[in-house]
Amino acid sequence: MNIALVTGGSRGIGRAICVKLASSGCYVLINYNHSPEEAEKTLQMVKEAGGDGMTLQFDVSDQSQVEKALGEWQSANEGKYISILVNNAGIRKDALVMWMKNEEWQDVLNTNLNSFLYVTRFLIKDMLLKRFGRIVNVVSLSGLKGLPGQANYSAAKAGVIGATKAMAQEVAKKNVTVNAVAPGFIRTDMTKELDESQLKQMIPMGRFGNPEEVAEAVAFLASEKASYITGTVINVNGGLYT
């Protein structure tokens, strides 16, 4: 059984990914930071989908927390390793650049970009030694197109896209793939304040997406079926940007 870690798995897209991976036969580690109740709800949904897993609390933007939590899990699960990593955790702190505070820039880069390094670097050695691994990074339309008011978020997600393409070439010979999924406008807590009625007019499909539609793409890239796909970005945006 593959063991999958989904960062930011307590709600939204992360929750849908956890449930989908569980239904595909994975044991799912549901990472969360501030919402234990929501993480437990995700765990219950994982079990209802016929899978199993556990919650794992740590702040992905804090290197010491990442290494402590994952190190403790490894010590308690000798002989096992996390073969699927979904770097999904993210935050937004939107502002025009002229008004953006240093902490708004740094917080978004720490959570959305630096976390990729902290979590991936800790887990990649086992994937290489076992000669199998799947890393899927949840990026964004913002990282491809750039969106006004999101210079920090766009910069962070664009950085993860670049890191995805570079790392894919580093580890391909060991049967480890590194890919990304770039959602457009998806109905989640992060988009609930947006004017869907107005924005959907920009989308060729005429609607926002659902978290489950993103999860399907992630699950495919995490599967054996995607064994010859690496260094790519799959857009899940209803045709808004290609």
Phi, psi of 232 (to 5 degrees): -110, 165
Give 85-105 pLDDT, tens digit per residue: 999 999 999 999 999 999 999
Domains in the chain: boundaries: 3-236
Contacts made by residues 41-47, CB under 8 angstroms, sequence distance 24+: 41/10, 41/15, 42/9, 42/10, 42/11, 42/14, 42/15, 42/18, 45/15, 45/18, 45/19, 46/18, 46/19, 46/22, 47/22
Q: Give the integer Cα–Cα distance in Å for 240 and 194.
A: 16
Q: Is 153 a catalytic residue?
A: yes
Residue with tokens 């999101």: 150
Find residue 5's DSSP bridge partners. 29, 85
pLDDT attached to residue 204: 95
pLDDT attached to residue 196: 81
Give 152-172 pLDDT, tens digit per residue: 999 999 999 999 999 999 999
**Nearest residue to 236 via CA among 215, 206, 220:** 215
pLDDT attached to residue 210: 96
Choose the CATH number for 3-236 among 3.40.50.300, 3.40.50.2000, 3.40.50.720, 2.30.29.30.
3.40.50.720
pLDDT attached to residue 190: 76
Query: Which parts of the chain register pLDDT below 50?
Result: none
Q: Among the options 27, 118, 153, 228, which is catalytic?
A: 153
